[in-house]
Structure 1
Amino acid sequence: MKIFGSSGVRGVANEELTPAFVGRVAMAAGSVFGEGRDGRTRVALGRDTRATGRMFADAAASGLASVGCDVDRVGVLPTPALQAYAEREGIAGLMVTASHNPPEYNGVKLVGRDGVELAREGLERVEDRLLAERFATVPWDETGTSRRVEGADRTYIDEVLAAVDGDRIASADLTVALDPGHGAGALTSPTLFRELGCRVVTVNGQPDGHFPGRDPEPIERNLGDLRRLVRATGADLGIAHDGDADRAIFVDEYGDHVEGDAALAALAAAELTAGDTTVSAVNVSQRLVDVVNAAGADLELTPIGSTNIITRIRALQRAGVTVPVAGEGNGGVLFPDYRLARDGAYTAARFCELLADRSASGLAADHSGYHNVRVNLAYDDDAEREALIAAAEATARESDAGLDTTDGHRLDYGDAWVLVRPSGTEPVVRVYAEARTEERARRLADEMHDALLAAA
């Protein structure tokens, strides 16, 4: 796909991503949503807290109306709440969000009538219409209407409450420290965890599209405020979201960062049984591999990105395969029996269920012993990007390690691995490495980084 990356389309607002372009994306999406349908087509439209969100939502609403779609404007809410609304109403959805990207970015995610992000096939149909400018525009007296819908966030909270073991969480008598990062989760997660019986303290808890407290990506270096809050309040768990709250990253009761791969492994260990299958991306940690092997389950790998994982899960489900849990180590976890969507609040609540028997630090320790490093190489144009990719391929071919080219180039050394691939959402080539020691992981990442830089 030329336009849609691993998680939708994103770019710097008013530079790479303009209102005119978002309007055309909406026209293409609305044209596809209306294919083969009699009568009016309704589309849910939501956004996260980004400063440019209203501008792009207005552009999207106009584009949808121009192809005859009636628009349900559900306002500012997490992406999983928009997905829940779409599933409940049986309508497609368009979410204006750049998820974890920096404040200057924005983007668009597309959701089907089942509340699931469009799979690759659906995105390709939208992209074909967009590139060909083949929009199903209607006469002036058939253009769509727009209405504001209240309460979608509250209904989403109620659905999560009903889907988790609230009694188990309440019995654990937890203090939870929340860092929504000024994103859409600020409007839902504090309420959810209070109603689950937790004492809740927050930092960066006011919605603010400039993200003054921290960058939207909930990675370790951005969570100093949360770690300090956990220590100061004696919280049992710290929870951090990205901008649209479809991810959750944790801090243990000592204020120490819990690796996302360790959290995914802990959640998977509680779900997987013999004969099950889980799905993850090609940068999967050995932690999950260990859990899969211990359970007698199977693991399938996809290119990085929720769209690819969801596409594979749906294919497995159609084949009758049981997939109780899936996801990536970035905090994006899916529980397909609940909803085929990444949901940061639901994931965090499921993690809280585990705290009834074990501390967060204990859960992390159960899946420790590996160290991860990630390095980014920025590029300025397509020529530089292609040079870096060519250098990665040459370096990989010269290595005596096992090579996997599912997405980029992954070199497996048995006791460690390194992966290099271009980002689907930012102008960078990423280098990932994992090993039993931080020193070895850092060395593998640095060697690949230096080889790419020298070759390019």
Structure 2
Amino acid sequence: MKFGTSGLRGLAVELEGQAARQYTTAFLRHLDLTEKGGTKRVFLGHDFRPSSRAILKDCAVAIKHAGLDAVDCGALPTPALALHALAKGGAAIMITGSHIPADRNGLKFYSPNGEIGKADEKRIVDCLDRENIPGHEVLPINEADQASERYFERFASFLTENALTGRRIGVFEHSTVARDFLGRVLRHFGAETVSMGRIDGFVPVDTEAFGDAVFSPIAGWIREYGLDAVVSADGDGDRPLMVDEAGQFIRGDVLGLLAARHLQAQSVVTPVTSNSAIEALGLFELVLRTRVGSPFVVEAINGAPGSVIGFEANGGTFVGQNVVANGQALGPLVTRDAVLPILCALGECVRHNMQLSEIVASVPLKHALADRLQNVANERSDRFLMRLRDEAEAERLFASVGISRRAEIDGLQFWTGAGDMVHFRASGNAPELRCYVEAGSPEAARDLLDWGMQMAARETSK
């Protein structure tokens, strides 16, 4: 059990029961010690993982044991839970493992002021007490409908009325908690929606791993139904997925960039894994780079000037201060959101009377791809990255492409002799080694990613 790039994660069988109760108690104790409490209610939400409801009940037991009221907001997107808790002035816990394997799960904590930071995570661990918390039946207050409706109202005037009339959009539903909401909000703006790929159980979907078999039917659906786009989100609805009318997947950092452009942000905050050409576009007064992980993005957003949008390479988009959408103030929600960048991309299509592929082409970024090696233990990733830190070893491994420069902000980035980029980093949420590449053409990016994945697979197996 440990904190990763976004929340506490671990095996579901280890989290369920006393661990969930103990970490919830430590979180509440931390809020009391730092005077971030001030509420008698803690709001709970969950994704569709098989273990999530049981873990939610454990959190509710701990909340009741601490003398507070648990509020059950049901299965809903993480940003919907965060928004509802923020409006009510309460703390929140989202039970979700996001995109990591189905046998794992996690807890994502929110103080009454919003998503917690890295310093808060350390203090929660310091407050952890392994004393057993007795179990008893707890019937939380139910505010599932209110929480979902509040999230819908946030977007009800985001675009002009009937802005999407005449557009047919596929909603890849799988097992994301955002599936019903995505269809509803798109139809609200006049789009015709086609539901596809709904799953009764749970399948983890990584919105950055475009090559995964779960996405293979999408191109056929686009042809069969004549779709202008396909949209989706990860399991807890805070990372978007978008495919254009030609069947091309749109990288998350491009979606975040389109959101920042659509909302005319003055400051942009994004991690080092987002496209390295963003600064060169000249669209924003300030671009701040951070390490990977929402707490780092949140911290930088809170100190950025002017109207502020943040986004990660996965496309999850954060709304800071002074943001306006369709002529109306959009309140801050400094946590990842999948719906907002999807609506912004479609809004750009409407504003410029273009297809989605044309909108993406209007943003002259380097061609970027990403993938990951699964089931790579942290120790193996660490050994591989340690070897890459050795200059002679890195030169040997990169002999076929060359190294012109390197950087070490989060993982290791290498620029090749041709000016392309390869970035390796270990996932903070799952036993995975991620590889990101940028190149001057789609073909070069694919070749470089294939090379990087093969090299990493070979070297981590030693």
Instruction: Bin the TM-score by the shorter chain.
Output: 0.7 to 0.9
Aligned partner of residue 242 in structure 2, secondary structure: strand
2:314 partner letter = N
- Assess, with a 3 A threshold, how the Cα gap between structure 1 residues 71 and 394 changes in structure 2: closer, same or farther: same
Q: Is the CA contact (8 Å cut-off) linking 2:262 and 2:347 kept in structure 1?
A: no
Q: 2:260 aligns with which of 263, 268, 275?
A: 268
Q: Is the CA contact (8 Å cut-off) linking 1:157 and 1:192 kept in structure 2?
A: no
Answer with 337-346 or 45-54: which moved more. Answer: 337-346
1:104 lines up with 2:107 in the alignment: no
Q: Is the CA contact (8 Å cut-off) linking 1:80 and 1:342 kept in structure 2?
A: yes
Cα distance in 2 between the residues matched to 1:37 and 1:436: 48
- Assess, with a 3 A threshold, how the Cα gap between structure 1 residues 233 and 440 changes in structure 2: closer, same or farther: closer
1:176 lines up with 2:169 in the alignment: yes
In structure 1, the partner of 2:234 is 242
1:326 partner letter = G
1:280 lines up with 2:287 in the alignment: no
1:353 lines up with 2:353 in the alignment: no
Q: Is the CA contact (8 Å cut-off) linking 2:47 and 2:77 kept in structure 1?
A: yes
Q: What is the percent sequence identity of the aligned residues?
A: 23
Answer with 36-45 or 175-184: which moved more. Answer: 36-45
C-alpha displacement at 1:407, in angstroms? Answer: 0.8
User: Any idea what the Cα deviations from partners look like across 1:97-133, whole Å, max 9, x if unmatched?
Assistant: 111223222111111213x321222222212212x55
Cα distance in 2 between the residues matched to 1:418 and 1:334: 26
Cα distance in 2 between the residues matched to 1:440 and 1:39: 54
1:406 lines up with 2:399 in the alignment: no
1:315 partner letter = G
Task: Return the TM-score normalized by structure 1.
Answer: 0.85
1:124 lines up with 2:122 in the alignment: yes
C-alpha displacement at 1:398, in angstroms? Answer: 4.9
Listed as ranges, the matches of 1:12-411 within 5 Å are: 12-14=11-13, 16-35=14-33, 36=35, 41-114=40-113, 116-130=114-128, 133=130, 146-167=140-161, 169-170=163-164, 172-205=165-198, 208-211=200-203, 215-218=204-207, 219-221=209-211, 222-272=214-264, 276-291=266-281, 294-295=282-283, 297-316=285-304, 321-336=305-320, 337=323, 338=330, 339-356=333-350, 357=352, 358-367=354-363, 370-378=366-374, 381=377, 383-395=379-391, 398=394, 400-411=403-414
Cα distance in 1 between the residues matched to 2:4 and 2:391: 25
Answer with 294-303 or 398-407: which moved more. Answer: 398-407
C-alpha displacement at 1:363, in angstroms? Answer: 0.8
Cα distance in 1 between the residues matched to 2:262 and 2:376: 44
- Assess, with a 3 A threshold, how the Cα gap between structure 1 residues 104 and 362 changes in structure 2: closer, same or farther: same
Cα distance in 1 between the residues matched to 2:221 and 2:254: 22
Q: Is the CA contact (8 Å cut-off) linking 1:181 and 1:205 kept in structure 2?
A: yes
Cα distance in 2 between the residues matched to 1:429 and 1:391: 14
1:425 partner letter = N
C-alpha displacement at 1:48, in angstroms? Answer: 0.9
In structure 2, the partner of 1:450 is 455
2:415 partner letter = D
1:194 partner letter = R
1:101 partner letter = I
C-alpha displacement at 1:248, in angstroms? Answer: 1.4
Q: Is the CA contact (8 Å cut-off) linking 1:375 and 1:449 kept in structure 2?
A: no
User: Any idea what the Cα deviations from partners look like across 1:182-229, whole Å, max 9, x if unmatched?
Assistant: 2211232212221222111111346x3423xxx422342332333332
Which structure: greater helix fraction? 1
Cα distance in 1 between the residues matched to 2:257 and 2:232: 18
2:423 partner letter = L
Answer with 435-444 or 190-199: which moved more. Answer: 435-444
- Assess, with a 3 A threshold, how the Cα gap between structure 1 residues 384 and 39 changes in structure 2: closer, same or farther: closer
User: Any idea what the Cα deviations from partners look like across 1:376-425, whole Å, max 9, x if unmatched?
Assistant: 34566554343223112225885553332221112234832111111101
- Assess, with a 3 A threshold, how the Cα gap between structure 1 residues 38 and 47 changes in structure 2: closer, same or farther: closer
1:432 partner letter = Y
Aligned partner of residue 331 in structure 1, secondary structure: coil
Answer with 373-382 or 434-443: which moved more. Answer: 373-382
C-alpha displacement at 1:437, in angstroms? Answer: 3.0
1:280 partner letter = T
Answer with 420-429 or 369-378: which moved more. Answer: 369-378
